[in-house]
Amino acid sequence: MTATAFDASVWRHALPRQRSHRFDRLLVVQCSLDWLRPGQLALREEVDDFLLDLCVRRSDLRVDRLVLHNLPTARGALDGDLAVLNAAHEEWMYGLSCSSVLLNHPGLRIHRLIIGGDQTDVGVEDVITTHRDGTWTNPELAAPVVELLSRGRSTTPLSGYVDLQGPLADTDPSFYL
């Protein structure tokens, strides 16, 4: 889905560096199907934890996170693992939604990119980049994302439509048995 290969070491290296800088906006794009592969679960959770921790510490920070709204069925079918990818995607979106509802951070915006089932390129690359003193650390990667988000026509926000009561919540009768 992206023009560059997915490199977990680059992401792991980028996260600690983000902690040491003063910045006013963070842009995170995770639209590659590689994020949904079983081998990337630990990295996906590491990025999630980093962003949650950052939001807890910085209520003034604006965070724009772009993820896929739906999966490209043609690409998933070609890879032969569409069911695995869909399950991972559903679980990830549920986790992001729950975290967003519980965190209630005023500047956290999770955008879901709507793509066609046969689409193989979303037009933006996966990136984590910061905005400081009027400029992005990776302006060539940030510009297409900022432009995409400003149009608002191909994205939809991740909303808090999740039922946090669930089957194991204290309103479930079996909880008291």
Does domain 8-176 fall under CATH 3.30.870? My reply is: yes
Using the predicted structure, report yes or no on whether residue 166 has a pLDDT greater than 60: no
pLDDT value of position 32:
87
Of 94, 101, 92, which Cα lies nearest the Cα of 160?
101
d(CA 101, CA 97): 6
Split at pLDDT 50, 70, 90, the class of 4 is very low
Contact yes or no for 55/99 (Cβ under 8 A): no
Looking at every residue in the chain, the average pLDDT score rounds to 80
- Residue 95, judged by CB atoms within 10 A of its CB (0-12, 13-18, 19+), counts as middle
Highest mean pLDDT among 6-10, 44-48, 123-127: 44-48
The predicted model scores a pTM of 0.82
